Amino acid sequence: MNQSGSQHKKLIVALIAITLLGFVVRLLTSNFIAAHLNDPGWFQSGSFAIFDRQAQNALDGKESFFWIPDSSRTDLIQYPPGNKLWIGFIYTVTGVRSALSVQRVQLVFDSLSVLLIIGIGVSSFGWNVGLIAGLLAALSPLLALYGVTPGADAITSWFVLASVWWLVLACKRKSVAHAIVAGVLLGLACWIRVNPLFLFGAWFVGLLFFLKAPLKKRLQLGLAASFATILVIAPVVVRNLVVFYPQIAPTGLNVGWNFLAGIGETERGAEFGAPCCDQQMIEQDRIAMGLPPDAPLGLVYPDGITRDRQRGQRALAIIKAHPVWYVKVMARRFLGHLKLAGKPVPSLGSTGVNVTSEKTLPPALQRFPFSVTVNALGMIQSVLRYLALPLILVGVWISFRNNVEMAGVLMTTVVYYLASLSVAHSEVRYALPMHGILCVFAAVAASKVRIPRPSPMILKTSP
C-alpha cells in the first residue's frame, strides 16, 4: 500500500474513533439526563411540553405544523415552527411520542455533529487542528449535556455549525455557491431557534474585514449568504405578518420576556419589580389586566404580542434609567458564557456534567472494568474544563497571527453569540455553536504542543 493510501486509512480510523468517543460520552450523559427528566433544574420540561403538545396536535390533525388560522393564537408563535416539525418527524419514525424517543435520536445525530467541528477545523487550519478539535468536542461535557437533552438547542447548533463550515469553504474557494448553501443552512437554524437570526449580518461585516479578496468578491459572498438566509426565513416572517397584522411579530415572541427576565434575575431585580421567572411574570400580567388570582392565563396567551411588547418597554425604561449598571450586567453575562470550569453562573445554567460511574452508568455496570474506565474518562473531562479557556485564548492569538482570514471569519460567529447573548437573559445552551467553534481555537493551541521524545539510550560496551 502506498503512503497516501496508508495516510487516508489512518484518517478514517481517527474519524471513526473520535465519533465513537463522542457517542460513548453522549450515551453516558444521556443516562444522567434520562434519570432527571422530572427535574426542572436539568431538563426544561416546560419548553419541551410546548413542543410536544404542538407536535402531537399537528400529527393528530388538530393543528397545522406551519399555518396559524386564528390570529388570537399568539401561543403558536412563541417559538419558530422548526422544532415542532423535528419532534413530529421523530414521533412518526419511532412510533413513540415521548421525550426519551427524542433523546435517543438526538444522541445519534449529536455524536455525528462532532464531524462538523472537525470539518471546520480541517478546512480552516488543517488536519491536526481538525482532529484535535473533534476530540475536544467529543469529550466536552457542555456539548454532550445539551446534545442529549430533548429540545431545540442541539438541533440549532447542528445547522449553525454546518453553515459555518460552508462559509469557511466559501471563503477558501471564493465561491458564491458555497456562500448560498451557508445562508440556507443558517436560515434553517432560524426555523428552530431565533438566536442566530442576525448572524448573517455579522458574517457580512466579517467577510468585508477579513476576507482576502477584491471588494467585489467580498460583497458577492456576503450578499449571497445574507439573501439566502433571508429567503429561507421569509415564509415564517410572511406567515406572522399575514396572520397577526397589524400586531406585527415577524420572528416570534419572548423578546420582551428576555429583557425583563434578564433584569429580574440580577441582584437588583426585586428593587425594579422585575420578575425572574415565568410564574412571576404571569402573576404580574394577571394583576395588570385586572384578572382574579384563579383566572387562566398563559405566558404568551391570550394577547401575547401586546403583553410581550409591554414587557420590553418596562425593561428598556429600567435600562435607560440605569445604563452604567446594565453595562456591568452585560459584561458579567459576556464573561459568564466563557466560564467552563468551577461553579457555573446561576442564571446561565449548567456547563455540563463529567461522566462518572455513579452518575452515568446503569447500576448493573457499576463494577470493574466499566467503573474505572468511565471515572478515568470523567477525570480527563475535568482537566480539559480547566485547560479550555487558556487554550482558547492562546489559540485565538496564534490563529490571528498565522491565518487572520480564517481566524477572523470564525471569530465573527463567536463575537456575535457573545454580544447578542449578553444583551438580555441567556443560557449557555443557546450558544452551543460558539462553543463548538471555540473547540477549534483551543485545538490550534493544543496542536502547537510538542511532547519531547526520550532519546534512545546509548549502550557503551567495554573494549
Q: What's the CA gap between 123 and 138, in Å, rounded?
A: 19
User: Pick from 266, 263, 178: which is nearest to 220 by CA?
Assistant: 178
Residue 267 forms part of a structural domain: no
Q: Residues 88-99: what's their mean pLDDT?
A: 96
Radius of gyration of the chain (CA): 24
**Do 19 and 147 contact (CB within 8 A), yes or no?**
no
pLDDT of residue 343: 86
| Mean pLDDT (whole number) for 428-451 | 94
The neighbour count for residue 327, using CB atoms within 10 Å, is 12
Q: Residue 93 has what pLDDT? A: 95
Least confident piece of the model among 356-370, 371-385, 440-454: 440-454
Residue 218: inside a domain:
yes
Res. 463 pLDDT band, cuts 50 70 90:
very low
Average pLDDT, the chain: 93
Q: Which of 166, 133, 142 shows the shortest CA–CA distance to 432?
A: 142
Residue 198 lies in a domain: yes
Q: How many domains does the chain have?
A: 1
Output the pLDDT for position 6.
83
Q: In this structure, what are the phi and psi dihedrals at residue 344, rounded to the nearest 5 degrees?
A: -70, 155
CA-CA distance, 267 to 257, in Å (whole number)?
Answer: 18
Residue 53 forms part of a structural domain: yes
Query: Which grid coordinates are listed for 454?
Result: 526520550
CB atoms within 10 A of CB 250: 14
| Helix H or strand E encompassing 2 | none
How far apart are the C-alpha atoms of 244 and 252, rounded to whole Å?
11
Q: Please give the grid coordinates belonging to residue 219.
A: 460583497
DSSP 3-state assignment of 349? coil
d(C-alpha 360, C-alpha 35), whole Å: 9
Q: pTM of the prediction?
A: 0.94
> Per-residue pLDDT averaged across 186-203, rounded?
96
pLDDT at 197: 94
CA 257 to CA 424: how far, in whole Å?
Answer: 9
**What is the rounded average pLDDT of the residues 442-446?**
98
> What mean pLDDT is predicted for residues 233-238?
94
pLDDT of residue 180: 98
Range in 17-21, 245-249, 419-423 the model is least confident about: 245-249
Give percent above pLDDT 70 in the chain.
95
Distance, CA of 150 to chain centre: 13
Determine, yes or no, domain membership for 173: yes
Residue at 291 is within a domain? no
Count of CB atoms within 10 A of residue 302's CB? 14
91, three cell numbers: 414521533
- List Cβ neighbours of 90 (8 Å cut-off, separation of 6 or more): 101, 102, 105
| 81 inside domain | yes
Q: What is the pLDDT of residue 460?
A: 46
Cα distance between residue 199 and residue 182, in whole Å: 11
- CA–CA separation, 276 and 90 (whole Å): 33
Q: Tell me the pLDDT tens digit for each residue of 387-433.
A: 999 999 999 999 999 999 999 999 999 999 999 999 999 999 999 99
pLDDT of residue 461 exceeding 60, the answer is no
Q: Is residue 440 within 8 Å of residue 121, measured between CB atoms?
A: yes
Q: How far apart are CA 345 and CA 336, in angstroms?
A: 6
Question: According to DSSP H, which parts of 3-140 are helical?
Answer: 3-34, 45-59, 82-94, 99-125, 127-139
- The per-residue pLDDT for 452 is 64
In the prediction, which pLDDT does 5 show?
Answer: 78
DSSP class of 152: S
CA distance 411 to 287: 45
pLDDT of res. 458:
41
**pLDDT score recorded for residue 249:** 59
Helix (H) or strand (E) run with residue 437 in it: helix 432-447
Confidence of residue 46 (pLDDT cuts 50, 70, 90): confident
285 falls within a domain? no
Residues 160, 168 contacting (CB under 8 angstroms): no
- Using the predicted structure, report yes or no on whether residue 109 has a pLDDT greater than 70: yes
Q: Do 402 and 389 touch, CB atoms closer than 8 A?
A: no
For residue 317, the enclosing domain spans 10-251+299-446
pLDDT by residue (tens digit) across 345-375? 888 999 999 999 999 999 989 899 999 999 9
**Confidence band of 456 (pLDDT split at 50, 70, 90):** low
- pLDDT, residue 2, reads 66
pLDDT for 462 equals 39
Residue 96, Ramachandran bin (φ over 0: left; ψ between -120 and 50: alpha; else beta) = beta
